[in-house]
Amino acid sequence: MAGPGVRGAPARWLGIGLWGLFLLRGCLSLEVSVGKATTIYAVNGTEILLPCTFSSCIGFENLRFWWSYNSSDTFKILIDGTVKNEKSDPKVKLRDEERITLVGSTKEKMNNISILLRDLEFSDTGKYTCHVRNPREYYLEHQATIFLQVVDKLEVVDNTLMRIILAVVGGVIGLLIFVLLLKKLITFILKKTQEKKKECLVSSSGNDNTENGLPGSKAEEKPPTKV
Ligand SMILES: *[C@@H]1O[C@H](CO)[C@@H](O)[C@H](O)[C@H]1NC(C)=O
Ligand SMILES: *[C@@H]1O[C@H](CO)[C@@H](O)[C@H](O)[C@H]1NC(C)=O
Ligand SMILES: *[C@@H]1O[C@H](CO)[C@@H](O)[C@H](O)[C@H]1NC(C)=O
């Protein structure tokens, strides 16, 4: 009786351990995302949406979220709030400025805590970090950062991107043409040298012992005529 019990215990612990690992990998961690762009450009005087969504498969209750701002000389909390549960919208407890509004919704699994920043000033340039802390995850904090660059014209940025794309495309096409030309050139040179070789072989075959060279050169002679 003692034998199987002792042997069974490690198996049971292994099972629990694997289950825990599965939970950790697939479920326990909440994820925060600010989208694909790591840098957002916006024109002064306009408004910009700073996106942030999170996902949590174990659900949440009394989740805390906040946005912070960080530039070379400033650090501040822009907005701070809580979300009671999955059926309620976020409640803002602190807001640094009138120009900031929480526009997301957390109802119906939208889990969206994006903010809108109005009347952009050049000094708004900096790092914006969206933080989420879920009590169900032992208060682990998750965050994602986006960089906002306030500019006076967007065209400049577009032009740079366009120029980079054009340069890359142009480079690739150029390289292809170069490779094709190189291939043509090599084929041409090979053909020429073969013709030269043939001439040599023909002239030398008359007088001496290079009989082995003849069949070989005849076989090589055919492919170029096909091309
Ligand atoms: C943005 O800044 C530029 C340069 O300082 C200024 O000329 C322009 O009027 C500003 N635009 C707005 C909408 O404030
Ligand atoms: C703000 O950013 C700077 C550098 O980008 C970093 O060294 C600093 O630790 C950040 N401050 C905070 C409070 O996160
Ligand atoms: C979050 O909410 C804002 C405002 O309603 C919306 O513009 C944005 O597309 C939403 N983001 C996602 C990922 O659903």
For residue 212, CA distances in Å to 74, 199, 201, 217, 218 come to 85, 16, 11, 9, 11
Q: What is the pLDDT of residue 59?
A: 82
What's the predicted TM-score (pTM) here? 0.62
Ligand 3, CB within 6 Å, residue ranges: 49, 51, 53, 103-104, 112, 114
Q: What is the pLDDT of residue 1?
A: 45
Together in a domain, 36 and 119 = yes
The domain total for the chain is 2
- Give distance in angstroms: CA of 118 to centre of ligand 1: 14
Q: Domain range holding 165? A: 160-226
Together in a domain, 180 and 97 = no
Identify the nearest ligand to the CA of 90 by its number.
Answer: 3
Q: What is the pLDDT of residue 217?
A: 47
Cβ–Cβ < 8 Å for 111, 118: no
Give residues with Cβ within 8 angstroms of 49, minimum separation 6: 103, 114, 115, 116
Together in a domain, 54 and 32 = yes
Residue in 39, 69, 70 to alter for ligand 2 test, most ligand atoms within 8 A of Cβ:
70
For residue 34, CA distances in Å to 2, 96, 127, 157 come to 56, 21, 12, 21
**Residue 212 covered by a domain:** yes
Identify the nearest ligand to the CA of 36 by its number.
Answer: 3
Q: How confident is the model at residue 158 (pLDDT cuts 50, 70, 90)?
A: low
